[in-house]
Amino acid sequence: MKAGKTQPERATGKAQRRVRKPKRPETYHHGSLRAALLQAAERILERDGIQGLTLRAAARAAGVSHAAPKNHFGDLAGLLSELAAVGFERFVAVMQADVRDGDPPAERMAAIGRGYIAFARTYPGLFLLMFRGERLDMDRPALRAGVEASRRVLSGAVGASRNEELEEKLTLPQAADIVAAWSLVHGFAMLLLDGRLKPLLARLPPGTDADALLAAVFGRARPRGQ
């Protein structure tokens, strides 16, 4: 008959089994903990709004320790700023998605405007965060680069409509055209997100949606010389 294990042997066996336990998800499940935290933060933002996004909420959603977001982003402003930087990178891509080489300036401007509105409708929480300057740390390099890239898209379209290469220093008319174009698309996006266009759309012929209204607005606001 086999002798049973002694108590020290049984304790040693338990200790060995503990050593073989898999690592916690935060150390092996996520290829990039930083990216996982940003993805979790975006899900919270779109579901609960900016008021529901905290460092602890992001950590909980990503399945990591509460200290992980602080280690990667420092504080909540850091997390929000890096998330906004991701948003601006995506924003630039969406605005340029339908722009084609050789498009007339008016078509290029309209395509960028449609992309601007499409992004706001698809990612409303992220869009609102990106323009909440009081919650963001504009000294973060990624955020500064993203904001500048988005400005170049719009100013480039305005420059094309004026048949000019816009320099770092702008003339007053150039700046006025940029502000006019930006105000049009940003204002339309905000009215749409706030539901303020619903009463107006309800008074239009059946089947007329926000896209048709936007196209009509662009038709009335053709760039100079078009």
Confidence at 6, pLDDT banded by 50, 70, 90: low
Q: Mean pLDDT, to the nearest integer, of 202-215? A: 93
| Residue 9 to residue 4: CA distance in whole angstroms | 10
The matching CATH number, chosen from 1.10.287.1040, 1.10.3720.10, 1.10.600.10, 1.10.357.10, for 85-226 is 1.10.357.10
- Give the model confidence (pLDDT) of 30-41 as tens digits: 458 999 999 999
Q: Mean pLDDT, to the nearest integer, of 5-33? A: 50
User: Which class for 187: exposed (0-12), middle (13-18), buried (19 or more C-beta within 10 A)?
Assistant: exposed
CB 90 within 8 A of CB 123: yes
| Residue 100 to residue 103: CA distance in whole angstroms | 6
Q: Mean pLDDT, to the nearest integer, of 9-29? A: 46
- Give the model confidence (pLDDT) of 154-197 as tens digits: 999 999 999 999 988 999 999 999 999 999 999 999 999 999 99
- Where are the domains positioned within the chain? 26-74, 85-226
Question: Can you give the pLDDT at residue 4?
Answer: 54
Q: DSSP E strands: which ranges in the chain?
A: none
Fold of domain 26-74: Arc Repressor Mutant, subunit A (1.10.10)
| Residue 125 to residue 123: CA distance in whole angstroms | 6
Among 112, 104, 129, CA closest to 50: 129
